[in-house]
Amino acid sequence: MKKNVYVILAGYLLMLMSAACSAVTPHENFVMSMQAAIGKSTDRIAWRRPEQLIGRKTLSNGNVEEFYKFRNSCFYYYEIDPRAHLIVGWRFEGTERDCEIAN
């Protein structure tokens, strides 16, 4: 009986440890969400919110960079291929605390 309890406890601890290792921080969640936009059409991406658009500029390579306000110090930028209407890159400025999405 005692051996079964130890086996159950060991299994439970292993499960908790693996869950802790696979958890992502809210900032990592933000980064993964932004990264998922790469290669997507500019017509279908949820993060391209017109009400958050601050501005846009043409880059030296001919692509367009759109600049968005997210939260407090967090701004994010999409690099867009205007001929293909695809997001080809992104970056952000701001603190990890402001650039986060709750899990």
What are 63-75's pLDDT values in tens digits?
A: 999 999 999 999 9
Tokens of 43: 């017509």
pLDDT the model gives residue 48: 66
What residues does each domain of the chain span? 25-103
pLDDT the model gives residue 38: 94
**Model-level pTM?**
0.73
Q: Does domain 25-103 have CATH number 3.10.450?
A: no
pLDDT the model gives residue 51: 80
The phi, psi pair for 35, rounded to 5°, reads -60, -30
Q: How many CB atoms lie within 10 A of CB 74?
A: 19
